[in-house]
Amino acid sequence: MTMPATRTAYPPSQRLEPSPDLVTKRRIPLSRRVPMTLSRISWYLLCSLLAVTMLVPLLWMISIALKPDSNILQLPPQLLPRSFQWSNFIRGPEQIQFPQLLANTVTVTVLSVFGSVASSMLAGYAIARIRFPGRNFWFYLFTFSIFVPGIVTLIPIQRMFFAMHLIDTWFPLILPSFFGNPVFIFLARQYFTSIPRSIDESAMIDGAGHWKIFTQLMIPLTKPLWITMTIMAFQGSWNDFLNPLVYLNSDSKYTLSLGMANFMGGLNEATPQFNYYMASNLLYMLPPLVLFFFAQRYFMMGLGTLGVSQK
């Protein structure tokens, strides 16, 4: 059974360069072997240089997060903290009631991840595997809505939630995700289409309906798909700034993105707790980072499959 997303990492390019022992066995002249190693060394040098450049901002953030208060307004600034002030990780989060905002963000994120993945899986399954009148029409309509910029719909939707007295609640952040995510439906449809029909045909002969096939056969079969969607939805919700900014007014309901932006916005030379800020910022980054290290494959896959499926 072939599935688009589970293809093993990078088989074709493995054949690009023959393995080292093959090279030596064929006794390639020294003149050709030396530039190989030279180019390899310069490749490592170049990549390391780029990697360090990429990491410098993050390392600098960690350094600020550990700096004692007396270090913050020092001129010229020091790259490394003079001593480590670990209490930044306690007092920083206290400034913005971090635990409260974390609980808010987790609530919003968990509910909207569940909503968008469940509704999009159902829609993707139906469009890919059930023959019914209007199926192409709906697929095109759902796909079209990918291209409608969020700002065009934001103002009327905001007025709608305003009329429903749902401003300054989490409903506007959660509710829409239960009604399907066009990008996810597109991905799900591609994935479901690639699964051989014989699987559900034999289940149908055994008398299984679509609900049973979907829940008992398809969900286990499409694990890479819904893990990828879960990660994409998690990132979308965890990182969302514009919607909380538009819908939430009271500090106690803020999500972390909003709280962190306000925290930074309030810092200046008179209140220079940048060390507190960077410590809190590290905590804010931690959940997506942990998720990334556990599910790295799936993180990169969502975009990868989207790119490949366009071919």
Partner 1 sequence: MEAFARPAGRGLSHRRRNTVTAYLFILPTIVGVAVFMIYPLISSAFHAFTKWDGLSPARWTGLDNFRYMLFDDPTFWPSLRATAYFVLLSVPSGIVFGLALAVLLNRVVPGVKLFRTIFYLPVVLPSIAVLTLWKYIYDPLYGLANQLLTDLHLPTSQWLQSSRMAMPAIVIIGIWGVGGSMIIFLAGLQNVPVEVYEAARTDGAGPIRMFFAITLPLITPIILLQLVLGLVLAFQAFNQVAVLTNGGPGTSTTLFMYKIYSDAFGSYPNLGLATAEALILFVIIMIITGVTLRTSSMWVFEETK
Nearest residue (CB) to partner 1, 86 versus 132: 132
Contact between 72 and partner 1 per CB under 8 A = yes
Nearest residue (CB) to partner 1, 72 versus 111: 72
Yes or no: say if 129 and 200 are a contact pair by the CB < 8 Å rule.
Answer: yes
Contact between 36 and partner 1 per CB under 8 A = no
Q: Give the C-alpha separation, 253 to 275, whole Å.
A: 25
Site residues for partner 1, 95-124, by CB under 8 A, read 119-120, 122-123
109's tokens: 């994120």
Nearest residue (CB) to partner 1, 87 versus 176: 176
Nearest residue (CB) to partner 1, 60 versus 100: 60
Site residues for partner 1, 177-216, by CB under 8 A, read 178-180, 185, 209-211, 214
Contact between 257 and partner 1 per CB under 8 A = yes
Residue whose entry in the numeric block shows the structure tokens 């690009």: 16
Residue whose entry in the numeric block shows the structure tokens 């994935």: 191
Q: DSSP H helical segments within 175-222, as ranges?
A: 182-193, 197-205, 210-212, 219-221
Interface with partner 1 (CB under 8 A), residue from 3, 60, 171, 219: 60
Q: What own/partner pairs with CB < 8 Å and gap ≥ 24 does 66-71 have?
A: 66/275, 66/279, 67/275, 68/275, 69/273, 69/275, 71/275
- Asked, as a colleague might, if the bond just before 20 is cis with ω within 30 of 0, I would say no
Contact between 35 and partner 1 per CB under 8 A = no
Q: Give the C-alpha separation, 247 to 253, whole Å.
A: 10
Interface with partner 1 (CB under 8 A), residue from 46, 80, 110, 164: 46
Site residues for partner 1, 258-287, by CB under 8 A, read 260-261, 263-265, 274, 277-278, 281, 284-285
Nearest residue (CB) to partner 1, 171 versus 292: 292
Site residues for partner 1, 138-177, by CB under 8 A, read 138, 141-142, 145, 147-160, 162, 176
